[in-house]
Amino acid sequence: MIDIKFLRENPDAVKENIKKKFQDSKLGLVDEVIALDAEVRAAQQEADEIRANRNKISKEIGALMGQGKKEEAEAKKAEVAANAARLAELEEKENDLREKIKKDMMTIPNIIDPSVPIGKDDSENVEIQKYGEPVVPDFEIPYHTEIMEKFKGIDMDAAGRVAGNGFYYLMGDIARLHSAVLAYARDFMINRGFTYCVPPFMIRSAVVDGVMSFAEMDAMMYKIEGEDLYLIGTSEHSMIGKFIDTIIPEEELPHTLTSYSPCFRKEKGAHGIEERGVYRIHQFEKQEMIVVCKPEESPMWFDKLWQNTVDLFRSMDIPVRTIECCSGDLADLKVKSYDVEAWSPRQKKYFEVGSCSNLGDAQARRLRIRVNGKDGKYFAHTLNNTVVAPPRMLIAFLENNLQADGSIRIPEVLRPYMGGMTEIR
């Protein structure tokens, strides 16, 4: 959510930003907010005048009563009563207008960074850099669920009977590998100075509204029936929510946290063969990282965050690349975003395994996360990035570490988490 003062003073810039995101249907919201804002300020000014007049008349009533002028005092009291009714009308009007403004402001997209490439959708995202040499072995690589099934490591049929499509049982060494990756990712981030955290796995609607757009919420979140609670779709929502309604001393920044959590997503829509198996599912586990920092430091932290993911995957010998999301592929709260994609030898292409986002002060403004600085209070900047989400990461891991004899090589960094195993046979 952008600053209404900025919108009021720069409506054309806000409209141009909407056009860059190819959301022309939202252009009318800018003029609507300006008109509503003018009404609010007019109502507020009238209400302030009534309050000031009320205080003045109250003093006059006291003086008249002291002088025995009861009739004049009663006339003044009637004037106060009439003003009170009008004040109540104005306060109700002001509240209604502010709610409309808030709804519109939460729909208008955040101002994107000038460096973001302009494009309609993810087909126009831009490759930034590749890390590691992508290799296609001279033997066939099966689909990832087939690899897992050879090790009796997955049972999607039983999961379907228990929970429906989009769920799975991981078993044996594959399940152990899944947990090993998470444990390694946790320690990797702790060694980079991040504080480890296990957050709540459910959040209230006030936090949901603060961390994501309405469209994202509808597409992702599971609502708990009869409760003001949602299952988290990703742990950064709960992690950023930790700071709701807080004023952080500037000297305490930055807050750098890494979290483990299960995640739950609706994943609406039909998906192709390459998104079956454990690629797009309703439940998975994830290691995440978030930063709450000063505005001037967020570009530096953005670069650090995505680099952490690249370094993690490269330490497991998985080739990756970074992709910058174009304007049309950015969620409404995001200022700038990179996807990290891992190499798939089977598909002979890269696929997304993580996303790094700078949200500027959008989430902080919605959640009222302020910083107490030497020159006054201001809104913090928030960033998040996937460390690793093992279901997708497992696909990349299995394909890149599959050996000709069908065994799975365990990279050196994971061996302590796998009981010293060098391969899975």
Do 312 and 188 form a contact (C-beta atoms < 8 A)? yes
Taking the chain (425 residues) in runs of 10, the rounded mean pLDDT of each run is 92 97 96 95 89 75 70 71 81 92 94 97 96 94 94 94 93 96 97 97 94 78 94 93 97 97 80 68 94 98 97 96 97 96 96 96 96 95 95 93 96 97 95
Instruction: For the chain, state the CA radius of gyration.
Output: 28
Do 109 and 332 form a contact (C-beta atoms < 8 A)? yes
Q: Which residue has the tokens 């020159």?
A: 375
**What pLDDT, on the 0 to 100 scale, is given for residue 87?**
84
Q: Which residue has the tokens 């570009």?
A: 299
- The pTM of this model reads 0.89
Annotate 375-389 with DSSP letters as a single string: TEEEEPEEEEEEEE-
Do 108 and 18 form a contact (C-beta atoms < 8 A)? yes
**What pLDDT, on the 0 to 100 scale, is given for residue 53?**
79
- Domains of the chain and CATH, by start: 4-105 (1.10.287.40), 122-424 (3.30.930.10)
Query: What span, in angstroms and rounded, lies between the C-alpha atoms of 297 and 414?
Result: 33
Phi, psi of 356, deg, nearest 5: -115, 130
Residue 235: how many CB atoms within 10 A of its CB?
28
- Termini Cα distance of the chain: 52
CA distances from 84 to 44, 56, 79, 197, 287 (A): 14, 14, 9, 51, 56
Query: What span, in angstroms and rounded, lies between the C-alpha atoms of 324 and 91?
Result: 46
Do 404 and 139 form a contact (C-beta atoms < 8 A)? yes
The helix or strand, by DSSP H or E, that contains position 123, with its residue range, turns out to be none
Query: What span, in angstroms and rounded, lies between the C-alpha atoms of 46 and 315?
Result: 65
**What pLDDT, on the 0 to 100 scale, is given for residue 58?**
72
CA distances from 77 to 43, 48, 80, 146, 404 (A): 23, 19, 5, 84, 94
Closest residue by Cα to residue 30 from 111, 116, 118, 90:
111
**What pLDDT, on the 0 to 100 scale, is given for residue 269?**
56
Query: What span, in angstroms and rounded, lies between the C-alpha atoms of 146 and 130?
Result: 28
Q: Which residue has the tokens 């460390």?
A: 387
Closest residue by Cα to residue 293 from 235, 246, 361, 377:
361
**What pLDDT, on the 0 to 100 scale, is given for residue 202?**
96
Closest residue by Cα to residue 232 from 216, 210, 208:
208
Query: What span, in angstroms and rounded, lies between the C-alpha atoms of 126 and 322?
Result: 9
Closest residue by Cα to residue 389 from 155, 187, 178:
178
